[in-house]
Amino acid sequence: MRFVQVLLILFFSIGVQSQHTVSGNFSPANSFRYIMVYHPANNGIQYVTDTGVEDGQFSFTLPNSVSPGIYRLVYAVPQDEYFIDIIYNCEENIVFNFDLESGLTIVSSEENSIYYDYFNNIENAKDALMDFYSDGKSDEKEYMKLVNSLKQVQNTYEAKSKKLIADTFIKANRHYLPQEYIPLNDYLIEKKKHYFDHIDFTDGTLQSSEFFTDKLLNYMFRAIPPGTPDNKLVSEINKNVDYLASKLTVVPKILQTNIWAKSWKKANESKVYEVSDYIFETYLKKLALATGNENIITNIETQTRLRTGAVSP
């Protein structure tokens, strides 16, 4: 009997230890009322819990049943615009502050501190390299110093993130690094060529993240050959669309649908209708039907009819 009691004590103590809290402050306090917590997955987004925000403060405990990964804290509507993504590894409490003007500050969480610090530092290093090009410079020594700075940031955070979930994203975000000075146009060509070298399209952790979708949309709309004339831009973007479609065949159809829906929205809001129409007719409509998302089709067809200058049926 005592052996059984010991087992029960161990079981329940393990359960308690595996629960962790997420807490922090929102500012300005009167702009926040609630948080809805979701777990994005490659087959959709799952509701986890919710909590109120009182005087800018919040705290909630994630259930034992949740798995490690990305968790989305929605604080306003529309939900696909007003959210904060955090990494939860089931091993630590997370504390952060969020301000509408200054953004997110991680107070306590190894995973999230490394993740957000990495992206902040790597973006600064990238901006410095692009500033070099923008200033019309060509000094090889200065150039390689900037390239090596990018390399150092990458290597430093890969070392820091070993055995962490953040490591998946940090490695997937490796950049093309020239071995010597090359002109801007050559750099952009090589960057596009190597854009997906380190992204595993079959990785479920990547697939379920906003990082993955942002990477794809950035390639689709911005990886355009240098010197492309305005009358060829649509053609080049649609080529990128087709290339991405070939890469996405290994991704679950529901996720493909969501990615193409976001792509359509971006093109439509930018009034690049030849691209949004191409995305819809070539990929999105078929996938929406296959995944039971007929509402996407209805919504898009309605918006298309209401465009300025659209011909009435």
Tell me the DSSP string of 94-143.
EEEEEETTTEEEEEE-HHHHHHHHHHHHHHHHHHHHHHHHHTT---HHHH
**Superfamily for the 18-108 domain:** Carboxypeptidase-like, regulatory domain (2.60.40.1120)
- Tokens standing for residue 96: 């952060």
- CB burial string 126-155: b at 16+ within 10 A, e below: eeebeebbeeeeeeeeebbebbebbeebbe
Give bridge partners of residue 103 from the DSSP assignment. Answer: 99
- Tokens standing for residue 217: 């949309």
pLDDT above 70: percentage of residues in the chain: 92
Residue range 192-223, pLDDT digits in tens? 999 999 999 999 999 999 999 999 999 999 99
pLDDT at 293 over 60: yes
User: Mean pLDDT in the chain?
Assistant: 93
Q: How confident is the model at residue 16 (pLDDT cuts 50, 70, 90)?
A: very low
What average pLDDT does this structure show over 297-307? 95
CA distances from 99 to 28, 56, 104, 114 (A): 7, 10, 6, 20
Kind and range of the H or E element at 28? none
- pLDDT score at 309: 63
- pLDDT score at 308: 67
pLDDT at 5 over 90: no
Residue range 161-182, pLDDT digits in tens? 999 999 999 999 999 999 999 9
- pLDDT score at 133: 98
- pLDDT score at 227: 94
- 3-class SS of residue 73: strand
Burial of residue 20 (CB within 10 Å: 0-12, 13-18, 19+) is: middle
Residue range 103-133, pLDDT digits in tens? 999 999 999 999 999 999 999 999 999 999 9
- Cβ neighbours for 258, distance < 8 A, ≥ 6 positions apart: 213
Q: How confident is the model at residue 18 (pLDDT cuts 50, 70, 90)?
A: low
- Tokens standing for residue 265: 């929205």
- pLDDT score at 89: 96
Q: Minimal CA–CA distance to 174: which of 208, 151, 192, 193?
A: 151
Q: Minimal CA–CA distance to 204: which of 79, 41, 35?
A: 41
pLDDT at 40 over 70: yes
- Tokens standing for residue 122: 């790597």
Q: Is the dihedral of CA 101, 102, 103, 105 positive or negative?
A: negative
pLDDT at 69 over 60: yes
Q: How confident is the model at residue 310 (pLDDT cuts 50, 70, 90)?
A: low
Pairing of strands 34-41, 44-52: antiparallel
Contacts from 232-239 at CB under 8 Å and sequence distance 24+?
A: 234/272, 234/274, 234/275, 237/267, 237/272, 237/275, 238/274, 238/275, 238/278
